[in-house]
Chains A and B, each alone.
Chain A
Amino acid sequence: MKVVLDTCVLKLATLPNPVNPAALIVELCLAGAIQAWASPAMVEEYQEVLAGHPDLLQRAVSKLELCYPLTELAVIRHEPDNRFLECALAVPVDYLLTVNTAHGHFDRPDYQGVLVLSPGRFLNLPTVQGLVQRQFPA
């Protein structure tokens, strides 16, 4: 399963929130259970946001699959979000995971077959539930 992680999902994963779906998704990526894709522009943003956690950044980047989108898109009104969509469509990935579904951001449920889901909804997918059970048996 291929995904693109919006930077805010990575940020949320680093926080000790009582219930943290983003952290579980990052763990699944680090374990190789799901494939996270990123473009150089996305990695630069990850570096900026995870600057306070260099070891996590290094591990995350070492697990990322790199993609080099050839097309620059202007589909989403908030321009920086287009970098994530460019990567998602170039691969193409199955899911784009974000908490930013406000108007002008990732405000469509799917972009040419790439489904936009929140971390919580992603973890409710039957295939993902199976992955979690295999990776973290009770």
Chain B
Amino acid sequence: MQAKALVGGKLVSFKLSPELARAHRANAGKTMSDADAVAFVEQKRRRLALRRAKPYLESRP
């Protein structure tokens, strides 16, 4: 599977490694802007923080 990127003003095609190619196939049809990616990561961070805080939150009377 190939992907493209702009390198020094030229559009370069490159072969994806099997792992990244599998990820691209799994995400087929999806695209994300930079802002969407930032929001996605923030959502995951919040989930991680809540999971860490869960024992404390559950122990509160």
Contact A129 B7 (CB under 8 A): yes
In the complex, what residues of B have CB within 8 A of residue A138's CB? 12
Count, chain A residues at interface, CB 8 A: 46
Q: How far is the CA of A120 from the CA of B45 in the complex (A)?
A: 25
In the complex, what residues of B have CB within 8 A of residue A100's CB? 34, 38
Q: How far is the CA of A24 from the CA of B10 in the complex (A)?
A: 14
In the complex, what residues of A have CB within 8 A of residue B4's CB? 18-20
Which chain B residues (8-61) contact chain A, with CB distance < 8 Å?
8-9, 11-20, 22-24, 26-32, 34, 37-38, 40-41, 44-45, 47-48
Contact B34 A99 (CB under 8 A): yes
Interface string of A121-136 (1 = CB under 8 A from B): 0011010110010011
The answer to whether residues A56 and B31 also contact, given A19-B5, A20-B5 and a CB cut-off of 8 A, is no
The B interface, classified by DSSP as helix, strand, loop or mixed, is: mixed
A40 part of interface (Cβ distance < 8 Å): no
A-B contact pairs, 21 of them (CB 8 A): A8-B37, A8-B38, A11-B32, A12-B34, A12-B37, A14-B24, A14-B26, A16-B31, A17-B31, A19-B6, A21-B6, A23-B16, A27-B17, A27-B20, A49-B40, A53-B26, A55-B18, A102-B38, A123-B8, A135-B14, A136-B13
User: Which A residues are closer than 8 A to B by beta carbons?
Assistant: 6-8, 11-21, 23-24, 26-27, 30-31, 44-45, 48-49, 52-53, 55-56, 58-60, 80, 99-100, 102, 118, 120, 123-124, 126, 128-129, 132, 135-136, 138
